[in-house]
């Protein structure tokens, strides 16, 4: 069984389409980790679950962050292969399944990457966000010594044994980086898989609040890894 966690805060505009796209694949468990939505997101999931088996909804009445939502979803998941994908349809389920294929071929952690030669970017982020994203990646590489090119893409899959071996503390958007850095530090086999990606204008990242939080998480992870 493959469990796909979809963190969702106010994703009513795209979530129903994403769930329908995933429904064409057999052997998937869909875990929607709803995070204090006010736009009817939980009701969309409940309606979809009434027509489809293997759908789990976890809910939070308070906003806890992307990382915390993913962790709640992973705690509810039952699959041997686990993963998560952004709810905004910036990445198609076909690409997620290609990432899962890398697990089947021996990787412990597979990362959907926007930064490989074969990756396709249909719509770029605004210039300022690209600059800040590149600066974050450079800093993360320097602090954590992780060679992977795309730490923050919201499309990853991994073995349950890897997840069970790690303690990931970041509750916000730095969750992805901490997961990769700690997996790398413990010697797990990590591969990056090229994907097709499209920027979505309604990104949930708030520049001032979330960037500072992510930097604090990087420093915390560095201190933990360095011992």
Q: Give the catalytic positions in this structure.
A: 176
Q: What percent of the chain has pLDDT over 70?
A: 96
CB 151 within 8 A of CB 142: no
Q: Where are the domains of the chain?
A: 2-226
Write the CA distances from 29 to 5, 41, 91, 182, integer angstroms: 8, 18, 18, 26
Query: What superfamily would CATH give domain 2-226?
Result: Spore Coat Polysaccharide Biosynthesis Protein SpsA; Chain A (3.90.550.10)
Residues 183-191 have a mean pLDDT of: 97
Q: What is the pLDDT of residue 213?
A: 87
Residues 109-131 have a mean pLDDT of: 94
SS3 state of residue 102: helix
pTM over 0.85: yes
């Amino acid at each position: 069984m493959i469990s796909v966690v979809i963190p969702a805060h106010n994703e009513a505009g795209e979530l129903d389409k994403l769930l329908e796209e995933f429904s064409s694949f057999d052997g998937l468990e869909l875990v929607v980790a709803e995070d204090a939505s006010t736009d009817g997101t939980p009701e969309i999931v409940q309606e979809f679950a009434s027509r489809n088996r293997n759908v789990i909804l976890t809910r939070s009445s308070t906003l806890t962050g992307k990382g915390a939502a993913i962790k709640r979803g992973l705690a509810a998941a039952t699959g041997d292969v686990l993963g998560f994908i952004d709810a905004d349809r910036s990445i198609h389920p076909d690409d997620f399944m290609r990432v899962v294929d890398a697990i089947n071929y021996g990787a412990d952690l597979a990362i959907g990457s926007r930064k490989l030669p074969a990756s396709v970017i249909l719509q770029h982020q605004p210039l300022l966000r690209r600059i800040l994203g590149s600066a974050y990646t450079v800093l993360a590489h320097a602090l954590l010594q992780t060679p992977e090119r795309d730490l923050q893409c919201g499309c990853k899959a991994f073995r349950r044994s890897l997840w069970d071996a790690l303690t990931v503390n970041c509750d916000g958007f730095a969750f992805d980086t901490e997961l990769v850095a700690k997996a790398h530090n413990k010697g797990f086999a990590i591969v990056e898989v090229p994907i097709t990606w499209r920027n979505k204008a309604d990104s949930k990242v708030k520049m001032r609040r979330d960037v500072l939080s992510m930097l604090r998480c990087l420093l915390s992870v560095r201190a933990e890894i360095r011992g």
